[in-house]
Chains A and B, each alone.
Chain A
Amino acid sequence: MADRFSLGLDVGASAAKAVLLEGEVVRARSIQRSGADFAAAATACRDDIVTKAGLATGDIEHVVTTGYGRRSVPFATSAVTEITCHARGCYAGFPRAITIVDIGGQDNKVIVVEASGDRRNFKMNRKCAAGTGAFLEEIANSLDTPLSSLNGLAAQATGDVKLGSFCTVFAKTELLKLIAEGTPLPEIVKAAFRSVVMRIVEMDPLEGDIVMTGGVVAYNPVIVDLVSEALGRKVLVPDHPQCTGALGAALIGQDR
């Protein structure tokens, strides 16, 4: 019985995500804040998962970890990079040639997957948080607005206000100018979203079917709409975009 259960744990910069597979079936998911203790966040995810699934921790044979905290989980049976896990998790939902755009808490990734499921190449953002979840957190702080309200505000915007800066700090300076000019809050938030999209489209030509994943996409679907608009075609999003890395890790666990 025990070897049928595989737990994938994506311990990211902002959140820890877990997916429990029983065979091919997802039995449970969990998302917890990563905080300052990756091991504790991973443990909280696992405990939540086993409670939801009505299992004991000993029932899980494979625990594959991924994400920045992948080496900090004492009960992991193996660790794989998030690049490989996102590719695997997305390909499970879209088994064809795809280009994955993952917007994470502190980095962005573009992963090109062949029709066979093999990875052709990948890119990560440069050593700068512009265009990542951390950028939006900074913007929300500057605007004294809850992070969770950004998407709703951006959805109300009708204008085409833009931010020109690469850098998070300079972008915040531009925000001050927009505030001083009396620009409505929804327009400012959408300008920040457009800035995220610009950082994405300059990473790669983004050819073929695009699949977007990550927490930023999960909570801010307006960003997906803006990427679709920029590329001139519909962008695909899995059912649980924040959990594709964890799903990929669980699938890799099933292979082992």
Chain B
Amino acid sequence: MADAKKSEIRKIAASKTMRKLMADHFYELDRAVKEGHPKVAWCTSVGPAELLRAMGFLVYFPENHGAMLGATRMATETIPAANAIGYSPDICSYLTSDIGAFLQKRTPLRDAYKGIEAIPEPDVLVFNTNQCREVQDWLAWYGRRWSKPVLGVECYKGVGEVTDVHVAGIAGQFEAMVPALEEVSGQKLDIDRLRETVRLSRECSDLWKEVLETAATRPSPITFFDSTIHMAPAVVMRGTQTAIDYYRELLAELKARIDDKVAAVEGERLRLYWEGMPIWGRLRDLAMLFLELRTCLVASTYANSWVFTALDGDDPFRSMARAYTELFIVRSDPHKEKYLEEMVKTFSVDGIVFHDSKTCPANTNCRYGMAQRLQERLGVPSITIAGDLNDLRCYSDEQAKTQIEAFVEQLA
């Protein structure tokens, strides 16, 4: 059972900076739509954001909005509206909650940022199916709605080693979308600007990686729950100096915590890995539960997904292609298992929590025996929590709590 003594989540001071940056991000997009410039591009979270930014677009990430719908628990109210127009409750609940919110004329942006009434209407929508096929359907819906062009990259799946063939295939698709993007933006691609954007994106990625790696320290200065919040600039601002400055500030704070032996989870006694999507609507509840159990979720595949070590300003198209194909989600099960094995060792993990996310099979890795194989090979025990990223109808608080408490009782 969780300790009766109530614990408090240790606040990260840099959060204040991040909140301002996110506000600036959304106000800038809102202003662009109202004033008609610069052009706005929607982009999937691991899509070619650098290319869009280098071509002068402001970039909006619908998955970020999906996460906000989940975290505010607005999603559970908006999903049925999308279901009603033929988008099944079994498909991505980012998609259904976002389209449902649009149909209901709702957005958490309105509550968070005074003066913003709606999500920013795009001039172009760009997807990369490296995350899943749903992103294509998602952006296509808005493309039809607003009669705006939808461009995309069809990614490989189940990739073992990323070869030159993969890289050439994806880089070719990036290059092929340039003329269409130039037509929308009204300006030619400046390759030097792209090189600089990719360089900035790489620097942001390296700093984000360093932030996440602070959790290898015992006790960890950061939890998975912190990282789901503080990854936002890496998602929506990579390719800008602003994101780099932010992660320098955050990293300095975490290094100071390490020096002062300040733990994110007071009295940390167990260290777990989270595999799968966050349960956005229950982040705080779960953070409190793990805190009271003195158990730190030190690392996750999810937060690591915005680490792009292959990005190289000298070779922008090919390095973007490699970086966006090296992603965990694109890879084969043997590669994923090897990756998780490294994570278990790097972060001295006692066990793994697999989240079986009902509507996100692409980010669910426990449906083909992986948990059992890892336990057999590494002796790392695990549990599987049934839930969902946004649709709380698929999640049982009590059952999840019992499983987590029982797992901690088993490991402690």
Contacts and interface: CB of A to CB of B under 8 A. Distances in A.
Interface of A: 68, 70-71, 78-84, 107, 119-124, 126-127
B405 A81 contact: yes
B395 interface: yes
A79 B381 CA distance: 23
A120 B410 CA distance: 8
Contacts of A83: 402-403, 406, 409-410
Given A83-B403, A121-B381, A127-B394, 20 more contacts: A71-B1, A80-B1, A81-B1, A81-B405, A82-B406, A83-B409, A83-B410, A84-B406, A84-B409, A107-B399, A120-B381, A121-B382, A121-B383, A121-B410, A122-B383, A123-B384, A124-B399, A124-B402, A127-B386, A127-B399
Interface residues of B, number: 19
Contacts of A124: 399, 402-403
Q: Is the interface of A mostly helix, strand, loop or mixed?
A: mixed
12 contacts: A68-B398, A79-B1, A81-B409, A83-B402, A84-B410, A121-B382, A122-B383, A124-B399, A126-B356, A127-B386, A127-B394, A127-B395
Tell me which of A78, A119, A121, A127 has the highest count of chain B C-beta atoms within 10 A of its own C-beta. Answer: A127
B214 to A, nearest CB: 30
A81 B381 contact: no
Contacts of B356: 126
Contact of A80 (B384, B396, B409): B409
Interface string B384-408: 1010000000111011001101100
Contact of A81 (B382, B386, B394, B402): B402
Contacts of A123: 384
Contacts of A126: 356, 386
Tell me which of A83, A119, A124 has the highest count of chain B C-beta atoms within 10 A of its own C-beta. Answer: A124
Interface of B: 1, 356, 375, 381-384, 386, 394-396, 398-399, 402-403, 405-406, 409-410
A58 to B, nearest CB: 22
A107 B410 CA distance: 19
Nearest to B358: A127
Contacts of A120: 381
A122 B410 CA distance: 9
A123 B406 CA distance: 10
Nearest to B384: A123
A121 B406 contact: no
Nearest to A78: B1
A124 B403 CA distance: 8
Nearest to A71: B1
B1 to A, nearest CB: 4
Nearest to B393: A127
B386 A70 contact: no
Given A71-B1, A127-B386, A81 B398 contact: no
A68 B402 CA distance: 8
B131 to A, nearest CB: 25
Nearest to B410: A119
A40 to B, nearest CB: 19
Tell me which of B381, B395, B399 has the highest count of chain A C-beta atoms within 10 A of its own C-beta. Answer: B399
A82 B402 CA distance: 8
Given A127-B394, A127-B395, A70 B1 contact: yes
A106 B129 CA distance: 39
A256 B327 CA distance: 48
B406 A81 contact: yes
A123 B204 CA distance: 40
Contacts of A78: 1
Contacts of B381: 120-121
Contacts of A107: 399
A89 to B, nearest CB: 14
A78 B405 CA distance: 13
A80 B406 CA distance: 8
A204 B1 CA distance: 26
Contacts of B386: 126-127
Nearest to B382: A121
Contacts of A80: 1, 409
Contacts of B405: 81
A120 B411 CA distance: 9
A121 B394 CA distance: 24
Pairs of residues from A and B, 7 with the lowest C-beta to C-beta distance, nearest first: A83-B406, A79-B1, A81-B406, A84-B409, A127-B396, A81-B405, A119-B410
A12 B410 CA distance: 21
A119 to B, nearest CB: 5
A24 B5 CA distance: 32
Contacts of B410: 83-84, 119, 121-122
B96 to A, nearest CB: 18
A121 B395 contact: no
Nearest to B381: A121
A122 B399 contact: no
B366 to A, nearest CB: 11
B382 to A, nearest CB: 8
